[in-house]
């Protein structure tokens, strides 16, 4: 964990206590900072995640790494029963204050507090990148999903156009931390954000890891030119 006058950030080995503490520090202004730094695109990415999950009224859907519940709230618009789980109590408390109607509970993506095959669908938005064992998290998501159930991962990815990729990486490494200093309650977390996005597998590499973790029919769709990718998959039969 690095501590500076700008706040604190986790290191790239993503120790759970460091990640949770970093998000505790971000929680107070998380929703606003997201919308500012993404130029409002976060709302579109969330709607696309809900559409990709193809939820029906009455479905049970788990949102892992739900944070303040902003991603969970969007899922409930489908009529499904959506519950969020997160490691950071600070994020969960912020969510309880702003969205008291959204069911949120404390839970680690690597040891989810649910029985096998509890959900028709599971999803994880901008959180898989923060878990220190990606493959174990993908297997744990499969464990709590019923055979034939759906997974959608919404995560930052690799822009497909090389010229746009160069501009985007420059925004990520230079402008984004500077803008975060003006809006976030923990600006240093946004240095971690930039570093962790750069170190994250591209679309094809992540798809391969999803497959290896017990999911079939893996496919992805790029959003905003590949700034974000939605990976979707179906839980293999037992």
Return residues touching ligand SAM (CB under 6 A). 16, 19-20, 23, 34, 64-67, 70-71, 86-88, 91, 108-110, 125-127, 130-131
The residue (of 70 and 176) whose beta carbon lies closer to ligand SAM is: 70
3 state DSSP class of 218: strand
Q: Write the DSSP string, 1-49.
A: -EEETTEEE--TT--HHHHHHHHHHHGGGHHHHHHHHTTTHHHHHHHHH
Min dist CB 207 to ligand SAM, Å, is 20
The residue (of 131 and 218) whose beta carbon lies closer to ligand SAM is: 131
The residue (of 135 and 217) whose beta carbon lies closer to ligand SAM is: 135
Which residue is nearest to ligand SAM, using beta carbons? 67
Q: Is there a binding annotation on residue 24?
A: no
Min dist CB 235 to ligand SAM, Å, is 19
Q: How far apart are CA 109 and CA 7, in angstroms?
A: 25
The residue (of 1 and 204) whose beta carbon lies closer to ligand SAM is: 1
Q: Is there a binding annotation on residue 196?
A: no
Q: Is there a binding annotation on residue 86?
A: yes
Tokens linked to 4:
């500076």
Q: How far apart are CA 203 and CA 221, in angstroms?
A: 9
Q: How far apart are CA 188 and CA 198, in angstroms?
A: 16
Min dist CB 162 to ligand SAM, Å, is 27
Min dist CB 141 to ligand SAM, Å, is 11
| Cβ neighbours for 155, distance < 8 A, ≥ 6 positions apart | 124, 125, 126, 128, 129, 200, 206, 228, 229, 231
Min dist CB 24 to ligand SAM, Å, is 8
Tokens linked to 146:
């019923």
8 Å CB contact between 235 and 215: yes
Q: Is there a binding annotation on residue 108?
A: yes
The residue (of 59 and 73) whose beta carbon lies closer to ligand SAM is: 73
Q: Is there a binding annotation on residue 185?
A: no
Q: How far apart are CA 112 and CA 116, in angstroms?
A: 10
Residue numbering of the annotated binding site for S-adenosyl-L-methionine? 68, 86, 108-109, 125
Residue numbering of the annotated binding site? 68, 86, 108-109, 125
């Amino acid at each position: 964990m690095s501590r500076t006058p700008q706040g604190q950030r986790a290191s790239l080995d993503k120790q759970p206590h460091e990640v949770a503490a970093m998000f505790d520090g971000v929680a107070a202004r998380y929703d606003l900072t997201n919308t500012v730094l993404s130029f409002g695109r976060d709302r579109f990415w969330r709607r696309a995640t809900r559409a990709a999950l193809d939820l029906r009224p009455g479905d049970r859907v788990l949102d892992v790494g739900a944070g303040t519940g902003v991603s969970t709230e969007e899922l409930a618009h489908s009529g499904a029963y959506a519950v969020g789980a997160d490691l950071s109590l600070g994020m969960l408390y912020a969510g309880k204050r702003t969205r008291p109607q959204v069911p949120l509970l404390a839970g680690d993506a690597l040891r989810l507090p649910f029985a096998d095959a509890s959900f028709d669908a599971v999803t994880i938005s901008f959180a898989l990148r923060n878990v220190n064992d990606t493959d174990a998290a993908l297997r744990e998501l499969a464990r709590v999903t019923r055979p034939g159930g759906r997974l959608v991962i919404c995560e930052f990815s690799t822009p497909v156009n090389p010229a746009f990729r160069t501009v985007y990486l420059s925004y990520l490494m230079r402008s984004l931390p500077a803008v975060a200093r003006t809006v976030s309650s923990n600006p240093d977390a946004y240095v971690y954000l930039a570093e962790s996005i750069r170190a994250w597998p591209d679309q094809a590499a992540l798809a391969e890891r999803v497959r290896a973790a017990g999911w079939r029919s893996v496919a992805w769709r790029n959003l905003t030119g590949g700034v974000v990718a939605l990976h979707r998959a179906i839980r293999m039969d037992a």
